[in-house]
């Protein structure tokens, strides 16, 4: 089936880390080529928690995506059309006034607030230890209809001891999430990058369009901890939440196959320089934007549900943020290829993508490729 193609409305990435400076300028084109819009994560250094910072960051992204003369696969897609949708980091400094300003869009429209559990992942040191302490901000978000995006893991217990990282999401689902939803019944909530059977059980029971939604990464659909430990620890698969068991992954695949309207693509692409990724303390984050759309398509093809791909990639995400799907399209073709090079910043720093031929699991082949787009 070498000529098999699929055309869908331009996708929406509900969860993307672009970083800043030279890394941003090196990686943004991969997202902008594949996705028409993206919800931009705010865990930069310093974190984004004012409309002025969000505006400055937005300008930096727009300047990067409008500067590319050519793109990776020469698809003729105009990366300058990419629209970054900005978010706030739920720091202790964030106030109800900031939420009001962000919702108004007068300086810079803010589409959501992201919560990170203190200490759990990249730049999560500014977060609340207990999200329920952010009362005034959560109340204002409920009032103005601004969604809360959750990194749903418990990292530290009451005695400040680290919990087992394989149990963090399960603990959050059992303890924190129900209390949050009870206390703020009108709050729009997205459980990001779900990875465990417990999260899937909860969402299949409680998920609702416009109210409680969830995002899924390509790596949690493709890999489990057997691959993460195959032949040694695989740094390119190291992320939070950790990839889990084969059973968890199979549950995720079964869930996306159902085409549920409250489940959407959120790549969680998270680039790190080689020095941080291949170090004695491997940084959390999978850099997948050069292959994300292709992998989602491959997974849906293998599941026999390509008819559900457009809803997952292009419709369900924007609907949660009150946006219409784009009318522009992208076409993919079933054709094998490999990632053979790193992404290199203007300073010569290498960033290795998921599925890289040498640094991934070894000689990985991707079965779908971008052909063209409008
Ligand atoms: Zn993330």
Domain positions in the chain are 5-373
Contact 335, 368 (CB under 8 A): yes
How far is Cα 224 from Cα 296, in angstroms, rounded to an integer?
A: 16
Distance of CA 101 to the CA centre of its chain: 25
What pLDDT, on the 0 to 100 scale, is given for residue 73?
53
Residue 201, marked binder: no
**Phi-psi sector, 362: left (phi>0), alpha (psi -120 to 50), beta:** left
pLDDT category of residue 160 using cuts at 50, 70 and 90: confident
- The predicted model gives 37-56 an average pLDDT of 97
Percent of the chain having pLDDT more than 70? 97
Residue 72, marked binder: no
Asked if the model's pLDDT at residue 25 lies above 70, the reply is yes
Asked if the model's pLDDT at residue 1 lies above 50, the reply is no
CA atoms within 13 A on the CB side of 18: 33
Asked if the model's pLDDT at residue 46 lies above 50, the reply is yes
215 CA to centre of ligand 1 in angstroms: 11
Which residues keep their CB under 5 angstroms from ion ligand 1? 268
Cα–Cα distance list, 88 to 68, 81, 140, 155 (Å): 27, 23, 14, 21
Cis peptide before 331 (omega within 30 of 0): no
- Catalytically annotated residue among 224, 268, 301, 307: 268
- The predicted model gives 66-79 an average pLDDT of 70
Nearest to 355 by CA among 282, 275, 287, 255: 287
266 CA to centre of ligand 1 in angstroms: 9
Asked if the model's pLDDT at residue 51 lies above 90, the reply is yes
* Average pLDDT across the chain, whole number: 94
Comparison of pLDDT for 130 and 349, the residue scoring more:
349
- The dotted CATH code for 5-373 is 3.20.20.140
2 CA to centre of ligand 1 in angstroms: 34
Contact 312, 306 (CB under 8 A): no
Per-residue DSSP letter, 286: B
pLDDT digit string (tens) for 196-230? 999 999 999 999 999 999 999 999 999 999 998 88
Question: Is 268 considered catalytic here?
Answer: yes
What pLDDT, on the 0 to 100 scale, is given for residue 2?
46
240 CA to centre of ligand 1 in angstroms: 8
96-100's contacts with Cβ under 8 Å and 24+ in sequence apart are 96/136, 96/137, 96/139, 96/140, 98/49, 98/50, 98/51, 98/137, 99/137, 99/140, 99/141, 99/144, 99/146, 100/140, 100/144
Residue 272, marked binder: yes
24 CA to centre of ligand 1 in angstroms: 15
Residue 220, marked binder: no
Residue 225, marked binder: no
pLDDT digit string (tens) for 273-321? 999 999 888 899 999 999 999 999 999 999 999 999 999 999 999 999 9
């Amino acid at each position: 089936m070498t000529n098999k193609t699929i055309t869908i409305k331009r996708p929406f990435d509900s969860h993307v880390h672009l970083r800043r400076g030279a890394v941003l300028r090196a990686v943004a084109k991969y997202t902008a080529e594949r996705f028409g819009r993206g919800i931009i994560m705010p865990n930069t250094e310093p974190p984004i928690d004012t409309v002025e910072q969000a505006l400055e960051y937005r300008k930096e992204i727009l300047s990067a995506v409008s500067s590319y003369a050519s793109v990776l696969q020469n698809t003729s897609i105009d990366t300058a059309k990419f629209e970054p949708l900005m978010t706030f980091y739920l720091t202790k400094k964030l106030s109800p006034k900031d939420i009001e300003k962000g919702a108004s869009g007068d300086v810079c429209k803010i589409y959501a607030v992201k919560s990170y559990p203190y200490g759990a992942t990249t730049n999560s040191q500014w977060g609340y230890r207990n999200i329920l302490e952010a009362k005034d901000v959560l109340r204002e978000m409920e009032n103005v209809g601004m969604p809360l995006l959750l990194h749903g893991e418990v990292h530290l217990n009451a005695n400040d001891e680290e919990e087992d990282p394989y149990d963090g999401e399960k603990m959050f689902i059992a303890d924190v999430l129900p209390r949050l939803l009870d206390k703020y019944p009108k709050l729009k909530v997205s459980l990001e990058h779900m990875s465990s059977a417990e999260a899937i059980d909860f969402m299949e029971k409680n998920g609702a369009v416009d109210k409680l939604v969830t995002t899924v990464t390509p790596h949690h659909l493709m890999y489990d901890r057997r691959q993460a430990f195959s032949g040694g620890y695989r740094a390119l698969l190291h992320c939070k939440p950790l990839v889990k068991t084969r059973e968890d992954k199979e549950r995720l695949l079964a869930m996306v196959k159902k085409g549920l309207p409250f489940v959407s693509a959120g790549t969680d692409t998270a680039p790190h320089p080689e020095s941080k990724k291949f170090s004695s303390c491997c940084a959390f984050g999978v850099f997948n934007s050069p292959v994300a759309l292709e992998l989602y398509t491959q997974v849906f093809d293998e599941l026999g549900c390509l008819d559900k791909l457009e809803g997952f990639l292009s419709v369900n995400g924007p609907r949660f943020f009150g946006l219409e799907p784009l009318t522009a399209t992208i076409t993919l073709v079933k054709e094998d290829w490999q990632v053979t090079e790193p992404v290199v910043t203007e300073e010569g720093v290498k960033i290795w993508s998921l599925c890289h031929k040498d640094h991934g699991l070894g000689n990985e082949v991707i079965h779908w490729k971008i052909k063209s787009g409008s």
